[in-house]
Amino acid sequence: MGVRQLGANDLPASPGTPRSTVPASAEETRRWSSRYLREPKELLSSLYYHQREMQLIRALGPDVLLVRNHSLIKSSLMTSVRLGLPLVLEVNAPRAEAMTYDLEHWHVPFLPRWLEALHLRRADAIVTVSSALRDYLVERYRLVEDRFVVSPNGADVAMFRPDTVPDACLDGWRSGATVIGFVGSFERWHGVEMLAEMTLEVASARPQARFLFVGAGPERPRLEARTAQLGEAVRFTGPMPHHRIPGLVAALDIAVMPESNFYGSPLKVLEWMAAARAIVAPGYGPLREILETEREGILFEPRNPRQLVASILQLVDDRELRRLLGANAARRVRSQLTWADNATRVLAACRMALTRRAS
């Protein structure tokens, strides 16, 4: 006997009572508001957040204000000035780049970049996730390089380990095959089209290979449609709870990141390294900083699908190379790229900010 949970739409309506529906005009109003008023709302939110920050910080009495940069909410700058606190700004992406990925919302012209420049110039120290992002900000806003500390993201090495047992749900499906895969969100900036082409070409060249894709996102249906012809050789898990991710990563022999960007520090790659997976990724600057090609993984020329496929085929055919790259990657993470290492670098930026403010 099957059992399913009832939702609100399953309950019978009272006699003579129509189902509740949202009028089309109200829905259109909501969509319009979401598109055009999101950024103005964020700008106004700075005043509210500033008042809340003042209450909290006066009660806590910190020495430094450490803030992750937000494109439009600049309350921390006002708080830092009013309380005389050194400001350390953590930047993960430049405003101009973030806008190119957000096509759903209208963007306030000129003001966001002006605010970004003001925030960066007033900060006592700036933490970036890569040298490439630091160099971009220095050049764009004419900043002093010695105010920067580069601190890549880290991996949770207690959660992602080389000895993790692969998730049992894949035991029969793997059956000794070489498993190639991706774990993350299926967004257009992750190179889903290249991922689809790679899957088809590698499956044609090495029919014994299996392909595992973990996660959700707007581009997942397109990837599923493109690879449907491969049948059981491809497995999509959909979104999974976080505690299942290490076991799913452990099921991969080759972890693939088809596309990235010039500034970011991909957390997924660091976790794959910690799990001792053989990694293939595009050779952007931030990835070259954390992964030495041919030693801790293979970096291919960005947006070069032929190199991507060739790199994967090389690893499919060389089990010992996969083992060696994974072992080296795991050692690299544990010696330099844990979250504790990240925190040490951020604390160094805080000390630097205190010294600058004192002098």
Hey, how many other C-beta atoms are within 10 angstroms of the C-beta on 39? Answer: 18
- The pLDDT of residue 44 is 74
Domains and CATH numbers, the chain: 40-154+341-358 (3.40.50.2000), 168-336 (3.40.50.2000)
**Rounded Cα gap, residues 92 and 71, in angstroms:** 11
pLDDT per residue of the chain (359 residues) written in tens, 0 to 9: 333 232 333 333 333 444 444 445 677 776 667 666 666 677 778 788 888 999 999 999 999 999 988 767 788 888 999 999 999 999 998 865 555 555 566 566 667 788 888 889 999 999 999 999 999 999 999 999 999 999 999 999 999 999 999 999 999 999 889 999 999 999 888 999 999 999 999 999 999 999 999 999 999 999 999 999 999 999 999 999 999 999 999 999 999 999 999 999 999 999 999 999 999 999 999 999 999 999 999 999 999 999 999 999 999 999 999 999 999 999 999 999 999 999 999 999 999 999 998 88
pTM of the model: 0.84
Residues 6+ apart with CB under 8 A from 72: 39, 42, 43, 46, 108, 112, 115
Hey, how many other C-beta atoms are within 10 angstroms of the C-beta on 49? Answer: 17
Phi-psi region of 92 (alpha: psi -120 to 50; beta: other; left: phi over 0): alpha
From 259, 336, 252, select the one nearest 292 (Cα to Cα): 336
Amino acid at 24: A
Phi, psi dihedral angles at 65 (to 5 degrees): -105, 110
- The pLDDT of residue 76 is 87
> Are the C-beta atoms of 48 and 313 separated by less than 8 Å?
no
Amino acid at 206: R
> Are the C-beta atoms of 257 and 266 separated by less than 8 Å?
yes
Residues 6+ apart with CB under 8 A from 175: none
The dihedral formed by the CA atoms of 136, 142, 146 and 151, expressed in degrees to the nearest 10: -30
Q: Is 31 exposed, middle or buried (0-12, 13-18, 19+ CB in 10 A)?
A: exposed
Sheet with 179-183, strands from edge to edge, namely 234-238, 210-214, 179-183, 254-256, 278-282, 298-300
> Are the C-beta atoms of 185 and 217 separated by less than 8 Å?
yes
Name 182's bridge partners. 213
**Rounded Cα gap, residues 43 and 75, in angstroms:** 9
CA gyration radius, the chain: 24
SS3 label, residue 150: strand
Token duo for residue 275? 């799990």
The DSSP string of 12-49 is PPPTT-PPP---HHHHHHHHHHHHHHHHHHHHHHHHHH
- The pLDDT of residue 3 is 31
